[in-house]
């Protein structure tokens, strides 16, 4: 059996976060009643004319800055002709030979993935197949909702620079972060505002030629993207091992059985009879437009990560925080660099768990400054980490202030050395057997017994004793 290398290219479709559709002023919104966001333009009624949304061009120019794209002097729209009831015009307005952006790149975990092009196009309507179990092949008829027809999409086509399912997931994760950061899209894969198709081929390791590529579609989460690519690499490798030939085709990922299935062949690219859209003028971004966008570009995920790491946040935590869009929250909660790592810990732990569970804005539930105060209370030794968790539960979602909760409930830990020394001495006197065992024991035995003594002391103080101080006092006496 040979050793194979996978060659993967990804095509992302993302819905743009505009207020209106690409060529008409119908609202661009998810979940409206069927066929309520429609007008003569997106219904393809005779005599209607499309006009391009200025915001879509602005978002494309932002993407150009973020991914280092070239912006051609002129790009044009094209009609992609096909017969399917999801587009009432019987063509889709897209870009073909001259996309708005070309030749970009994205750094993914130290490797550069080239991006061939990104272009604007309109989304199609939504069809529901009735009868025959909802499958298009067996349906008796179909129902069509044109709310989504004309919604602006950006198609982003990577070069075949990706070599594994893991790298594919990392690329999509990083790209999604960029798209979110620059406000281009809300990129919710599950709601369909981001769709990913993969071109996968395999070749013998070290070969210069590419193998025959297969396009896989219908992955609706990052996880299924990874699974589908892994499955396809295995399928193709097994075929080559068996001396079979790979056919260039489009295959559908089936989430339930974890395999890909061949699809009925569609009209080929030349059958789409692309031609320039005569109803739209070319797009020619001006230097002023580009400069305005450049000046207002938000911080990208990679920059956010470096900034957090420079503040003292561990690399892995920085990744989680940036992905969860909690960078600003984290930096606002950080009072001094001495406690940055602690703040990050809280943010990627308790805060993120609550944000996910409640789909909440953390700043509303617990202002960052108050989280910083809570971290300080632990750092200065006023409360223990366990007590802090209790306080956190009380201040989250309420208007309570951590320092006041500690005061009102007498939560402050006992750090008075004289008081704690007396507690420890009493416990030692009451437990002579354990005390002797501690004195004579090795590190392991001591570790166990330390738990016993600290536990007793905590019990005696109602859980308020300063743990660090207890350990020191115990060691002074029995060590």
Q: Which two tokens stand for residue 75?
A: 């790009």
DSSP for 388-446, please give it.
Answer: HHHHHHHHTTS---HHHHHHHTT-PPB--HHHHHHHHHHHHHH-HHHHHHHHH--HHHH
Among 6, 7, 12, 38, binds other proteins (CB under 8 A): 38
For other proteins, the closer CB: 272 or 329: 272
Shortest separation between residue 338's beta carbon and other proteins, angstroms: 46
DSSP for 192-209, please give it.
Answer: TSEEEEEEEEEEETT-SS
Give the interface segment with other proteins, choosing from 31-39, 214-222, 244-252, 436-444 (CB under 8 A).
31-39
Q: Is 24 in the site for Zn ion (CB under 5 A)?
A: yes
Nearest residue to 305 via CA among 455, 135, 108? 108
Please give the torsion angle defined by the CA atoms of residues 356, 359, 361 and 366, in that order, rounded to the nearest 10 degrees: -60
Looking at residues 75 to 134 of the shown chain, list those that interact with other proteins (rule: CB under 8 A): 76, 81, 83-85, 127-129
Could you give the string, one character per residue 265-304, with x where binding to Zn ion holds by CB under 5 A and - elsewhere? ----------------------------------------
Looking at residues 279 to 298 of the shown chain, list those that interact with other proteins (rule: CB under 8 A): 280-284, 286
Q: How many CB atoms lie within 10 A of CB 272?
A: 18
Looking at residues 37 to 96 of the shown chain, list those that interact with Zn ion (rule: CB under 5 A): 39, 41-42
For Zn ion, the closer CB: 148 or 251: 148
Among 110, 137, 209, 295, binds other proteins (CB under 8 A): 137
Is residue 6 within 8 A of residue 228, CB to CB? The reply is no
Is residue 394 within 8 A of residue 447, CB to CB? The reply is no
* 34 contact choice in other proteins, Zn ion, none (CB below 5 to 8 Å, kind-dependent): other proteins
Q: Which two tokens stand for residue 252?
A: 């559908």
Is residue 317 within 8 A of residue 323, CB to CB? The reply is no
Give the interface segment with other proteins, choosing from 46-54, 163-171, 230-238, 458-466 (CB under 8 A).
46-54
Shortest separation between residue 411's beta carbon and other proteins, angstroms: 52
Q: What DSSP character marks residue 272?
A: G
For other proteins, the closer CB: 85 or 397: 85
Is residue 338 within 8 A of residue 379, CB to CB? The reply is yes
- Site of interaction with other proteins (CB under 8 A): 18-20, 24-27, 33-40, 43, 51-57, 74, 76, 81, 83-85, 127-129, 136-137, 139-146, 264, 267, 271, 273, 276, 278, 280-284, 286
């Amino acid at each position: 059996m040979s050793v194979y290398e996978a060659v993967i290219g990804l095509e992302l479709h993302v819905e743009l976060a505009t207020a209106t559709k690409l060529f008409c002023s119908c609202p661009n919104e998810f979940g409206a009643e069927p066929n309520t966001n429609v007008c003569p333009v997106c219904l393809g009624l005779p005599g209607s004319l499309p006009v391009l949304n200025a915001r879509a061009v602005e978002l494309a120019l932002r993407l150009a800055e973020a991914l280092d794209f070239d912006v051609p002097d002129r790009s044009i729209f094209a009609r992609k002709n096909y017969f399917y009831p999801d587009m009432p015009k019987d063509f889709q307005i897209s870009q073909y030979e001259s996309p708005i952006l070309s030749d970009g790149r994205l750094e993914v975990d130290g490797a550069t993935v080239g991006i061939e092009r990104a272009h604007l196009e309109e989304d199609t309507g939504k069809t529901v197949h009735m009868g025959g179990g909802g499958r298009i092949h067996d349906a008796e008829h179909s129902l069509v909702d044109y709310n989504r027809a004309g919604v602006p999409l950006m198609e982003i086509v990577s070069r075949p620079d990706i070599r594994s399912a893991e790298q594919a997931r990392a690329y999509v994760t990083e790209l999604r972060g960029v798209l979110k950061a620059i406000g281009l899209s809300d990129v919710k894969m599950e709601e369909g505002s981001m769709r990913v198709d993969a071109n996968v081929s395999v070749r013998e390791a070290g070969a210069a030629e590419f193998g025959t590529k297969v396009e896989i579609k219908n992955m609706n989460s990052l996880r299924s993207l990874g699974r589908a690519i892994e499955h396809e690499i295995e399928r193709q490798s097994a075929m080559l091992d068996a001396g079979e030939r790979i056919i260039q085709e489009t295959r559908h990922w089936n989430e339930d059985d974890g395999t890909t299935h061949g699809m009925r062949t569609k009209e080929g690219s030349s059958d789409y009879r692309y031609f320039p859209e005569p109803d739209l003028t070319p797009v020619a971004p001006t230097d002023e437009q580009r400069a305005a966008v450049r000046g207002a570009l938000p911080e990208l995920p990679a920059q956010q990560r470096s900034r957090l790491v420079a503040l003292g946040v561990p690399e892995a935590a920085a990744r989680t925080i940036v992905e969860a869009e909690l960078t600003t929250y984290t930096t606002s909660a950080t009072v001094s660099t001495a406690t940055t790592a602690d703040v990050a810990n809280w943010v990627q732990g308790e805060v993120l768990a609550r944000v996910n569970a409640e789909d909440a804005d953390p700043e509303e539930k617990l202002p960052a400054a108050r989280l910083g105060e809570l971290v300080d209370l632990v750092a200065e030794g006023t409360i223990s980490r366990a007590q802090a968790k209790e306080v956190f539960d009380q201040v989250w979602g309420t208007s309570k202030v951590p320092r006041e909760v500690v005061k009102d409930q007498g939560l402050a830990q006992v750090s008075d050395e004289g008081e704690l020394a007396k507690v420890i001495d009493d416990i030692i006197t009451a437990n002579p057997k354990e005390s002797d065992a501690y004195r004579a024991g090795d590190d392991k035995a001591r570790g166990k017994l330390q738990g016993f003594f600290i536990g007793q002391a905590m019990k005696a103080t109602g859980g308020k004793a300063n743990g660090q101080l207890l350990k020191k006092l115990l060691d002074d006496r029995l060590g």
